[in-house]
Chain A
Amino acid sequence: MKQFQYVRPTTQQSVLDAIAKPGAKVLAGGSNLVDLMKHGVMSPDKLIDIQKLPLRGISKSLGNTSSISIGALELNSAVAEHALIKQELPLLSQALNAGASAQLRNMATVGGNMMQRTRCPYFYDIAMPCNKRNPGSGCGALEGFNRMHAIFGASDKCIAVHPSDMCIALVALDATVEVASRKGKRYIKFADFHRLPGNTPELDNNLAHDELITRVIVPTNNFAKNSYYLKVRDRASYAFALVSVAAALDIDNGTIRSARLAMGGVAHKPWRLHEAEKALVGKPANKASFEQAAQIAMQGAKAYKDNAFKLKLAPATITEALTHAAGLA
């Protein structure tokens, strides 16, 4: 690991001042950043440890629109085990518990989870070309071993996938991200937080370098009874997703009133399935409806040399997740 300066400010204002300067990087739980620094993938000049900031707390607010607020420094384990989250947002709790190991969930924070970088092996191996790590150097995965890679939204510059499970649930739940900078607060819809690679795969998201994630806000919903997070991976636990699906249904007397669907492991960002959701509305909550939605979800999918299996695995996972969500499994 290269040398760096380490500072631990105690106020949000001093953090915002510090991150406004180039070369500085925010350190929250460190479970991804320290790993990347050890690999030499990232080598910031200065780490701004934000653990002293009061960005914690999980609470429900009953304003004009009822919502649940989660502080950016809340630990993944704490959110997953929180009574309010388990009761009102079980999909988020399940997704968090599907991610990483118990040790890492005790380190990783909500804000940090949103900022974690792809696990594409060509990104991690600094001897390989990677447009995300070193813009203009090429993409090792495009013609390389691309079994884990994208089937939606990729470009010829980058076919890496977004690694988080938490974010798949949050995009399905229509979350909003609150960020702060010296200019004040702003709100980013979760669906607009992460980016597709296009010609700038080095940019994972739309957070400006002088902005700090302060909390995530999830509107309350009617999905708690019928939601399910299904993660398909190479071993039973503690592995990144080949394909994952966040499925949530609002079922009234056997008919689907509304639906939410998002996929992980298939795109550069959490992949929301709006068309498939629309197709489910008004349909009976049964396997035929789910299979039809899964087929619609796959429109526009494109496989590479080693990941064609995802074209079959993804719709099967959607169908399975919806079946579990509906309580029919």
Chain B
Amino acid sequence: MEDLNKDACPHHHGNEPKENPRRNFLKQTSLLTAVALTPGVAVKAAENHLDEAVAAVFEKMPLHVEINGVNQSLSIEPRVTLLDLLREQLHLTGTKKGCDYGQCGACTVHVDGHRVNSCLTLAMTVDGKKVTTIEGLANGDELHPMQEAFIKHDGFQCGYCTPGQIMSAVACIREGHANSEAEIREYMSGNICRCGAYPNIVNAIQEVKAGGQQV
């Protein structure tokens, strides 16, 4: 959480990893086979059957996922996290990378309606699921009630943790865990704000809960 300068990007730049299963495989395979299996062909093969012999050959795998109501047919490396897919490939930068190790909650998104840490979710594992990020919460120009409440109660200072806080706050009400200040604090504890906007966030959640709107 503390070390934001650490290069936590899963893509290795510069030095090649010592062990590289894909390249080892290619070395062991005849050149002809490797050339014949162009990515397009290989992806198509894998679409039909996620067979391990095929999956082993290439770097990228097919991923079908609905993100904020839009169906996406993507091609990704298995080690890409949902967080990095959202930010780097789809340019949905509302979801923030805080600690990148599941400790701060800045990357919270909803998968099939349940809040999770997108930094610890391998993107391949959301195949066939529905993902909602902070960008998918508003209805066009009309902000979600929780977004309105955060603005009204000044539930953020620098704003970095805010998208994750709002995604958790919505889930907190949906899960039925916003019935008291203590319960809200407990169920918001996976979202850490280093500036200390907590009391205002609790106020915002209490107001939305009391409003009785469908969130």
- What residues on B are CB-neighbors of A34 within 8 Å? 81, 120-122
Minimal Cβ-Cβ distance residue in A for B110: A106
- Docked-complex contact B124 and A5, CB < 8 angstroms: no
Minimal Cβ-Cβ distance residue in A for B118: A103
Q: Name A1's contact: one of B79, B116, B125, B171 (CB within 8 Å).
A: B79
CA distance A212 to B189 in the complex (A): 32
Q: Name A51's contact: one of B50, B105, B125 (CB within 8 Å).
A: B125
- Docked-complex contact A35 and B102, CB < 8 angstroms: yes
- What residues on A are CB-neighbors of B17 within 8 Å? 2-3
- Docked-complex contact B101 and A39, CB < 8 angstroms: yes
- Beyond A4-B21, A101-B190, is A107–B175 a contact (Cβ under 8 Å)? no
User: Which of A38, A46, A77 has the largest number of chain B CB atoms within 10 A?
Assistant: A38
Q: Is A266 an interface residue, CB under 8 A from the partner?
A: no
Known pairs A27-B122, A45-B21. 11 more at Cβ < 8 A? A3-B17, A3-B21, A3-B59, A8-B50, A8-B124, A46-B52, A49-B122, A102-B168, A102-B172, A102-B190, A104-B120
- Docked-complex contact A6 and B190, CB < 8 angstroms: no
Minimal Cβ-Cβ distance residue in A for B164: A103
Q: Is A31 an interface residue, CB under 8 A from the partner?
A: yes
CA distance A1 to B22 in the complex (A): 14
- Docked-complex contact A4 and B189, CB < 8 angstroms: no
Count of interface residues, chain B, beta-carbon cutoff 8 Å:
43
Could you give, for residues 103-128 of chain A, a 1 whenever the CB lies within 8 Å of some chain B CB and a 0 otherwise? 11011000000000000000000000
CB under 8 Å from chain A, chain B span 77-96: 77-79, 81
Q: Is B108 an interface residue, CB under 8 A from the partner?
A: yes
Interface range on chain A (Cβ under 8 Å from partner): 35 or more
- Beyond A31-B102, A101-B189, A103-B168, is A6–B117 a contact (Cβ under 8 Å)? no
B residues sitting closer than 8 Å to A (CB atoms) are 8, 10, 17, 19-22, 50, 52, 55-56, 59, 61, 77-79, 81, 100-102, 105, 108, 114-117, 120-122, 124-125, 127, 168, 171-172, 175, 177, 185-187, 189-191
A residues sitting closer than 8 Å to B (CB atoms) are 1-9, 18, 27, 30-31, 34-35, 37-39, 43, 45-47, 49, 51, 77, 100-104, 106-107, 236-238
- Docked-complex contact B21 and A46, CB < 8 angstroms: yes
CA distance A35 to B7 in the complex (A): 15
CA distance A39 to B101 in the complex (A): 9
User: Which of A3, A43, A51 has the largest number of chain B CB atoms within 10 A?
Assistant: A3
- Docked-complex contact A238 and B10, CB < 8 angstroms: no
Distance in angstroms from B50 CB to nearest chain A CB is: 5
- Docked-complex contact B120 and A30, CB < 8 angstroms: yes
- What residues on A are CB-neighbors of B81 within 8 Å? 34
- Docked-complex contact B50 and A30, CB < 8 angstroms: no
- What residues on A are CB-neighbors of B127 within 8 Å? 8
Minimal Cβ-Cβ distance residue in A for B79: A1
- Docked-complex contact A6 and B168, CB < 8 angstroms: no
Minimal Cβ-Cβ distance residue in A for B78: A6
